Amino acid sequence: MEKPLLPRESGQFVAERSKDVFIRDAGVQKVAEMLFSLRRSEFLTASGWKVANPLAPAPTSDQALNWLFVVDTMNFCFWPDNEAQQCEVTYKGATYTGFMTLCAAITRAMEEGVPITDPKYFSKMSVEELGKVLRSDNETAMPMVQERHQVLTEGGRVLLEHGGSFRSFISQAGNDAQKMVELIVEKIPSYRDEATYEGRKISFNKRAQILVADFWAVMEARGEGYITNIDCLTMFADYRVPQALVYLGVLEYSDALMEALKNGELLPSGDRREVEIRGCSIWSVELIKERLHKMVQEKDGKVCSINSAIIDFYLWPFAKQHHREMAHIPIHPTRCIFY
């Protein structure tokens, strides 16, 4: 059976053949320069993750790692059918939408005494119990609660088969980030994010990669960031970062694709256009990283340690912060469990 290309190779393979999504060199240069100006800021470090997500528990306990697993296992598809009717969760006086509703809901449940980070509990919880944990403040429920329940209970059962915690599970891969991604994808089917493009099997593995990157960020914050091969991770191909890449001039959509998205056409998972958006996003960030590393070497005389995961950790909050300015650029709507 043919093994899929790894995400980086998949991105290059798609970008070289794409018919509706194009990478623009001027945009790559612009973003590389923007990141170069921020190269010494906390935003471009692994610990910048915690700044971007203040709802995560303190990284000092292994409960924080189980929290990551619960959140990243259900980290997909938050866009509403109607932009004016979004699921909202208020926690400690702040109201959240999108992915942050999930973070707020899980942290709220922990405060309410629900053992939501314990695999013994979440591997067997009912749909109704999860629905209560993920409850919205308004009439608009979080999308795909049934699917979230299915993947969370599946993931919980896998953890119980491998020591009963995310830490014990992931330790089987040693300290190698690539082996961690492979372990997650092999053992937990819902993390297997693959497609076929131009006759080749490819992979994006968005949630598996972000779970490893989040694990690395927590371990860095604990002073235990000994994970090797972290540069194997690409950006995490979702629907929000591509929107930012279009806004920043890195990606350009064909007129036909832009019109389809503006008309609200749903792109099925695996649709050629959807694959091109995700693949070109991955490869464009690889090109940005290359350009940034070259600039740092030439101007600072140093080797740059900023990797694709850190660039994604910066671009995702950037997209959230600039959502009003980017409102004229549609996201690509795909209902799936992969992102």
Token readout for 242 is 């591509």
Could you read off the pLDDT of 2-38 as tens digits, one per residue?
Answer: 899 999 999 999 999 999 999 999 999 999 999 999 9
Residue 42 near residue 49 (C-beta atoms within 8 A): no
C-alpha span between 3 and 148 (Å, rounded): 27
The radius of gyration of the chain from alpha carbons, rounded to an integer in Å, stands at 19
3-state DSSP helix/strand/coil % of the chain, to nearest 5: 55, 5, 40
Report which DSSP code applies to 20. S
Could you read off the pLDDT of 166-187 as tens digits, one per residue?
Answer: 999 999 999 999 999 999 999 9
Could you read off the pLDDT of 257-298 as tens digits, one per residue?
Answer: 999 999 999 999 999 999 999 999 999 999 999 999 999 999
Token readout for 181 is 């991604």
Tell whether the model's pLDDT for residue 52 goes beyond 70: no
Could you read off the pLDDT of 301-326 as tens digits, one per residue?
Answer: 999 999 999 999 999 999 989 999 99
Q: pLDDT value at position 54?
A: 82
Mean pLDDT (the chain, rounded): 95
C-alpha span between 123 and 98 (Å, rounded): 24
Q: Are strands 94-96 and 89-91 parallel, antiparallel or unpaired?
A: antiparallel
3-state SS, 325-337, equals CCCCCCCCCCCCC
Start-to-end CA distance of the chain, whole Å, equals 25
Tell whether the model's pLDDT for residue 216 goes beyond 60: yes
Residues linked to residue 22 through DSSP beta bridges, in sequence order: 252
pTM for the model stands at 0.94
91 sits in which H/E element = strand 89-91
Q: What angle do CA 104, 218, 37 make, to 5 degrees?
A: 95
3-state SS class at 250: coil
Q: pLDDT value at position 53?
A: 77
Q: pLDDT value at position 58?
A: 86
Q: pLDDT value at position 50?
A: 55
Q: pLDDT value at position 185?
A: 98
Integer angstrom CA distances of residue 333 from 21, 83, 102, 266, 274:
16, 12, 19, 5, 9
Largest CA distance in the chain: 57
Could you read off the pLDDT of 83-119 as tens digits, one per residue?
Answer: 778 999 999 999 999 999 999 999 999 999 999 999 9
Q: pLDDT value at position 82?
A: 81
Q: Is 20 exposed, middle or buried (0-12, 13-18, 19+ CB in 10 A)?
A: middle
Q: What angle do CA 293, 294, 300 make, to 5 degrees?
A: 85
Residue 46 near residue 54 (C-beta atoms within 8 A): no
Could you read off the pLDDT of 131-161 as tens digits, one per residue?
Answer: 999 999 999 999 999 999 999 999 999 999 9
3-state SS class at 59: coil
- At residue 46 the predicted structure's pLDDT band, cuts being 50, 70 and 90, is confident
Q: pLDDT value at position 45?
A: 83
Tell whether the model's pLDDT for residue 209 goes beyond 60: yes
| Residue given tokens 């493009």 in the structure block | 197
Tell whether the model's pLDDT for residue 51 goes beyond 60: no
Active site residues: 238
